[in-house]
Structure 1
Amino acid sequence: MKKPLSKQEVKNLLQKSEHNKVRVVVADIDGVMRGKFMHKQKLFSALESNFGFCNVVFGWDMVDDAYDNVEVSGWHTGYPDQEAYLDASTFRLIPWEKDLPFLIADFHNKDKNPFPACPRTLLKSIISEAEKAGFTPLFSQEFEWFNFKENPEELYHKGFDNLKPLTSGMFGYSILKSSEYSNFFHDLFDSMEKFGIPLEGLHTETGPGVYEAAIQYCEILEAADRAFLFKTACKEIGFRHGIISSFMAKQTQDLPGCSGHVHQSLWDLKKKNNLFFDPSDKNQMSELFKSYLAGQIHCLPHILPLYAPTINSYKRLVEGAWAPTTITWGIDNRTTAFRILPTGKKSTRLETRVVGSDVNPYLAMAACLASGLYGIKNNLKLEIQPTKANGYKDSGNGVLPTSLIEASNAMKTSPIAKELFGRDFVNHFTKTREWEWRQFASHVTDWEMKRYFEII
C-alpha cells in the first residue's frame, strides 16, 4: 500500500503537471459524486485552508429536486457556501482523462466540527473512536452491477425501457462472456489499478451483462474512498466503450439483485495482528469478533437504511435471490445477513451481506464499524446460534423491514441510531429517506396503469 501524499508533495506534483486544473469532488448523502474543476493556483490556497462549496449538494436529492423537510440546507438557509477541506491523501491521476489530477474533499462547520450531513466526515469520526479504542479497521467492498449497450441519450429516449444488456444469458463466472467484450473488461481492471482502486477480482455474475468486482482491502477510509470512486469510474470507463453501467440494487424482478457486500476486520494499531482471529476457538473467532458481530446483529434493525437507502433496495432483499431477509449469521453461509469467513490469521473477517450496490459506501462502512464497536463497548455476547442451513427459513431472531419507509421510521425513532451517529445526522438522513418515499408514493407507475386502467 502506497504511503499517502502530503500537501507539499501534492503541490510539487501539480507544479510539474501539464494540466492547469484539478477535478475536485465530494460525496452527497446518496453517495453521488458531485464536484467541479478547480484551477491549480486556486487549489494551492485551498489545500492550506479550505474552500467554499455550495451546500445545495445536501439540500437536494439525487436528481436535483430540493428537499422541503431538511434543516442543514434549503431555501430557508439561502444555500450558502459550506467550508470544504481537501484531503491530500486522496490525490490520484485519472488515466482515462490524460492523467488529470484528482482530489476528494469533505465538509466541516466553521467551528471545525463535522458537518452533520457529510458522509465522509461521519465515517472519519467513527474511525477516530475505533483508533482511541486501539483498533485499526481494515475494510473492503465488492460490487455487482449490470452493463448495457446503450448511451445516455438513448436511455432517456427509450424511457429506461427495453435496454440491451451487454451480453445475453446466465453466465456467472463465465470466461466466455468476459471475453465477449474483453476490451471493456481489461480496461476496467487496468484503469482501476492506475486510478488507485486495485481490484482483487473481476468476473461475470449470473444474469445478462452482469459483472462483479472485489476491491482490495485496506484501511477503512481509503476503502470507502475506493468504493465511492469505483462506481463513477466504472461508468466513465464504460462511456468510452459505448456501455452504460447501472448500480441499482434490483434491475428486474426476474433476476437476482446487485450486492455491495462489505468485508471487515479489526487489527491492532500497528496492523500486525488480526484481532478477529483466535485459533483456539472452534470457528477461529475471537471474543472481540463475537462482540463485534453481536453489535451488528443488535443494531441492524435500527440502521437498515444506511445499508438499503432507496425504494429499490428492498426489492433486492427477497427470499431466494442471494440477498438476506432474516437477522442471521453463519459460517461461510451465503443465505445469512452476516457471513463469517474463518480463513486464518491474515484473512479471518466478517462479510455484511445486507448491503446493496446502490449504497453510499461511506455510510455503509460507518454503519458496519459503529455497530460493531457498539457490541464491543457494551460487551455484547453472541447469543444466537449460527445458521447452518437455509437462512431464509431461520426467522427466530427477526426479519428485515420490507420497505424504505418502515426502515426509516425505525431509524428515526431509535435511541441506538442517535447514539451511534448523533441526533443531527439521524434527523437529516431519515428526512431525506422520507422525502424519497414521498416522491415514489406520488407517482403513478406502469404497474398501476396495466393493472387498473381497464378492469377496475
Structure 2
Amino acid sequence: MQATLDWLREHSASHVKVAVTDIDGILRAKYISREKLTGTLEHGFGFCNVVFGWDGQDTVYGNHVADAGFADASARLVPESRRTIPWENDLPFFLADFRDDEGPAGAACPRSLLHRVVVKAEGMGFTARFGPEYEWFAYRETPATAARKGYRNLRPLSPGMFGYSGLRTAQQAGLMQDLFDKLAAFGIELEGLHTETGPGVLEAAIAHREAMEAADRAVLFKQGVKELAYQHGLVASFMAKPSADLPGCGGHLHQSLWRGEQNIFHDPGGRHGMSTVMEQYVAGQIALLPSLMPFFAPNVNSYKRYVPGSWAATRANWGIDNRTTALRVIPGGASATRLETRVPGADANPYLAIAAALAAGLYGIENELALDQDPVRGSAYDQTIGEPLPVHLGGAAGAMRTPEVADLFGQNFVDHFLRTREWEWQRYLGAVTDWEVGRYFELA
C-alpha cells in the first residue's frame, strides 16, 4: 500500500478513477477523491452490486439474478493495476474486483473468477501467458448520430475491402500513432496494428503477459480504443457481427504455459514440436469447447460469426497453423510455441474468455487427456472433424449446464452467469425483427 501512496503523491490530481468489469465485460467506473482513496486501499470500498444485476442496457434482470435490495458490494482496489490515463490529463486510474465480497458480486465477478483459475494453474506449477488480439469496426459517427440512424448505413472509417493496407493506415496516421503511443502510455503495448478485411476494420495484437495482466490489458484496450476513437470523431465497435455481408470481429487468444523461463508447450522431439503437456492442454479445450461457448460468444449476435468461410470456427477441432480451425497450434520454437484459440469474438468478456481457455486446458492436463483427434489439413469447413459448436445462445447456454463446467468454475458463478445469458436469449426471442416484418407482414 505504501508504494501506491508514494506513487499517488507524484500526481497532483484531486481525484482518481476506479473501475470494475461487469458480467458482459463492460467497464463500470466512477471518480473518487484522493482523500477517500487512502481508506479504500486498506479497507476496500462500496460499489453497488446492481452492476451484476442488470444487463448491458441497464435493465434489471427479471429472472432472480439481481439482489432485490441493491446493496453495496465490497470492492477492493488492485494496486498493481495502477496507471495514468493519457487522454484524461494523466489522471490516476485503478481497477478493482470483488474477490472479498461474500454476496452476489463476489460470486459473479469475472476478474475474481480468473484469479481463482490463475491460482489453480500456479498450484499445478504453471505460469500462463496470454496475448489477445482484437478486430473492430471504426465509423465516422458519434454515439448520437449512430443512434439517430438506427445503427444502419453508418459511414465507415475507410471504404472497401482492404486488408493490410498501407494506404488506409497512412490516411489515418494520427489515429494509428495515438493507438500505439497513448495505449502504451496507458500500460498497453501493442505488437501489431493493421487494417483487416472490411470497410473501416482494424486489428491489433496486444503483447503477451501473464494471464491476469493480459486480461486487465484486454479490458482496458477495448475501453481505450473507444475513448481514443471519440477524440478522432469516430465510434469503435467490437460487436461480433455488425453486418451480415462482412466478416465479423474476432478476439483470439494466443497462450502458453511456462515454468520460469521455460515454455512448457515446446518439445523439439514431440509431434509438431508439441510437448505432452501441450497436447493434453489442447485436448482439454477440444473436449470442453462446446460446453464453454457462452464464455467465448456471450451475446445473441455472437453466433452470427460461426458460418463456413467466415474465418470463425464451426467445430471443436485443431490444426497446425490453420486459421479455419477452432484451435491453431503454432510451432514457434522454444520461445514462441503456442496455441491460438480462435473461437472468442471481440465482444467476449476478456476475463471470462481467458478463464475458460485456461481452465479447459488445465482440465486436459489434470485428466491426462490424449490428443487423439486428427489435425485438420486444408479448410475445416469442408470436413466433419470435431463436434459441431452451438449455433445460437440459447443452445449454448443449455450445453453449458454440465457437472464439468460447475466443477471448474463453481456452481454459484455458473448459475449466475447462465441466468444472465438465458435472460439475453429470452429478450431476443421476445423481439420482432425487421427481417420478420419484411418477410411476413403482407404474405403471411
Q: 1:288 to 1:310 in 2, by over 3 A?
A: same
Aligned to 1:35: 29
Structure 2 equivalent of residue 3 of structure 1: none
Counterpart of 2:418 in structure 1 is 430
Indicate yes or no: 2:11 matched with 1:17.
Answer: yes
Aligned partner of 1:343 in structure 2 is 332
Structural mapping, 1:18-417, within 5 Å: 18-71=12-65, 73-75=66-68, 78-110=69-101, 115-268=106-259, 270=260, 272-411=261-400, 413-417=401-405
| Cα deviation, residue 114, structure 1 | 8.3
Displacement after TM superposition at 1:16 (Å): 2.7
CA shift, 1:12, in A, is 1.2
Contact 1:70 1:432 in 2 (8 A): no
Q: Structure 2: which amino acid aligns with 1:147?
A: A
Shift of 1:282: 3.5
Go from structure 1 to structure 2 and tell me whether the alpha carbon gap of 1:93 and 1:289 turns closer, same or farther (over 3 Å shift): same
Q: Which residue of 1 aligns with 2:427?
A: 439
Q: Tell me the alpha carbon deviations over residues 7-63 of structure 1, each in whole angstroms, 9 at most, x when there is no partner.
A: 222211212312111110000000000010010111111111210100000000001
Whether the 8 Å CA contact 2:76–2:100 is kept in 1: the answer is: no
Number of matched pairs: 444
Shift of 1:109: 4.5
Is the contact between residue 140 and residue 218 of structure 1 (CA under 8 Å) also seen in structure 2? Answer: yes
SS at match of 2:75: strand
Taking a change above 3 Å as real, the CA distance of residues 450 and 397 of structure 1, as seen in their structure-2 partners, is same
Give the unaligned 5+ runs of structure 1: 1-6
What is the TM-score with the length of structure 1 in the denominator?
Answer: 0.96
| TM-superposition CA deviations, 1:158-209 (whole Å, max 9, x none) | 1111100000001100010111121112111111111000000000001000
Query: Cα distance, 1:393 vs. partner?
Result: 2.3
Task: Tell me if the contact between 1:249 and 1:316 (Cα under 8 Å) persists in the aligned partners.
Answer: yes
- Residue deviations 1:349-384 (CA, integer Å, cap 9, x gap): 000000100000000000000000000000100010
AA matched with 2:3: E
Query: Tell me, which stretches of 5 or more residues in structure 2 are unaligned?
Result: none
Matched AA of 1:230: F
- Distance in structure 1 (CA, Å) of the matches to 2:209 and 2:278: 18
What is the SS of the residue equivalent to 1:82? strand
Does residue 1:451 correspond to 2:442, yes or no? no
Deviations 1:215-240 (A, max 9, x none): 00011100000001111110100100
Q: Secondary structure at the match of 2:385?
A: coil
Q: Normalising by structure 2, report the TM-score.
A: 0.98
CA RMSD, Structure 1 to Structure 2 (Å): 1.2
% of aligned pairs identical? 51
CA contact (8 A) 1:276 1:349 kept: yes
- For 1:309 and 1:81, the matched residues in 2 are separated by 26
Moved more, 57-66 or 388-397: 388-397
